[in-house]
Amino acid sequence: MQMTDPGLAEVLAEVKRIDLQTRRLVTGVMAGGYLSVFRGSGIEFDSVREYEDGDDPRAVDWNVTARVGRPFVKTYVDERELTVLFVLDLSASMNGGFGFWSARQVAARVLACLAFSAVRNGDKAGLVAFSDGVDAYVAPRKGTSHALRIVRDALALPAASAETDMAPALERVARGMRRHAVVFLLSDFLADGWQRALTVCGRRHDVVAVRLLTPELALPPRGLVRVADPETGTARVIDTSSGRVRARYLERVAAWHRRTERDLRRAQVDCMDVRVPAARDPEAIARPILEFFRMREMRGMKR
């Protein structure tokens, strides 16, 4: 079928670019990082063998032992397969801005690196997209074509609302995912009201908060600047050449950083900060992911 929708054609071209860019990373510098950081949780039955001196008596398979007349024990292997779920913010604040890409485009690239790493290692990947509620759900599956579908949706899914409410999506994950999963929550975290839901979700799953930091969090250029809240549409003009205005701006940004980091610590979830580059930066996506992998590896070595 010939595609005539220029919006769809543009999205598919972007998916292809992301696929080519991230495939090199996944097969190169990230190849071992994902596998070493995200191991399967729990064990599963493998086989039985004859009892040997030093074996744990609790591992004896009494059915086989009674049938054969000699003691046999059960053996187990690490459960390798993981379920990786991406919880993606589609709200209006994730679009636009002063970056080379929007926060949503950066989130899609981070998602692509992690999704392709997951399917390369035989894991399942799924997607929950939200604005002020759950906008879309893609069930976890294996395979490269499925990962590409998730990347496409991350770029193209329409938001049901301009506003943000993380709680319904986190509650959906906490309730609906019966098996332990690795959950990446990708958002700019400019909303509030998510703290309790994230804490509950973090108790059931391995949650990683991927915080998209846009250039707007730095000092704006001096002069009269018209700014608008993308979620409410409220607009005003501010004089960024004023020392008082600039100081107040930095204070509010610093307070937001402190509050968000405090809430993430209380929820006992890890945080991966990803800066949205103001100009083209080939390392903008790989650098924070690799730093996160190294942090998790070092923490595991200290245990």
Q: What is the pLDDT of residues 199-213, one digit of tens each?
A: 999 999 999 999 999
Task: Tell me: pLDDT of 12 over 50.
Answer: yes
Whether the CA torsion 189, 279, 115, 1 is positive or negative: it is: positive
Mean pLDDT within 228-240: 82
Look at residue 29 in the predicted model and tell me its pLDDT.
56
Residue (of 134, 260, 258, 264) closest to 199 by Cα position = 264
Please provide the CATH number assigned to the domain covering 6-36+81-302.
3.40.50.410
Look at residue 239 in the predicted model and tell me its pLDDT.
86
State how far the alpha carbon of 125 is from the alpha carbons of 81, 109, 140, 170, 180, in Å: 11, 15, 5, 17, 13
The pLDDT tens digits for 92-110 are 999 978 889 999 999 999 9
State how far the alpha carbon of 94 is from the alpha carbons of 99, 136, 196, 276, in Å: 11, 17, 22, 11
Residue type, 183: V
Task: Tell me: pLDDT of 4 over 70.
Answer: no
Query: How many Å apart are CA 184 and CA 192, to the nearest integer?
Result: 18
Look at residue 236 in the predicted model and tell me its pLDDT.
86
pTM here? 0.80
Residue (of 28, 82, 26, 36) closest to 293 by Cα position = 36
Look at residue 5 in the predicted model and tell me its pLDDT.
40
| Sheet of strand 206-213: strand arrangement | 134-141, 124-130, 83-89, 182-187, 206-213, 270-275
Query: How many Å apart are CA 283 and CA 43, to the nearest integer?
Result: 37
Look at residue 17 in the predicted model and tell me its pLDDT.
76
Look at residue 74 in the predicted model and tell me its pLDDT.
85
Query: How many Å apart are CA 251 and CA 182, to the nearest integer?
Result: 34
**Is 282 strand, coil or helix?**
coil
Mean pLDDT within 162-191: 94
Task: Tell me: pLDDT of 45 over 70.
Answer: no
Q: What share of the chain has pLDDT > 70, as a percent? A: 85
Q: In which residue ranges of the chain is CATH 3.40.50.410 found?
A: 6-36+81-302
Query: How many Å apart are CA 156 and CA 138, to the nearest integer?
Result: 14
Q: What's the whole-number average pLDDT of the chain?
A: 86
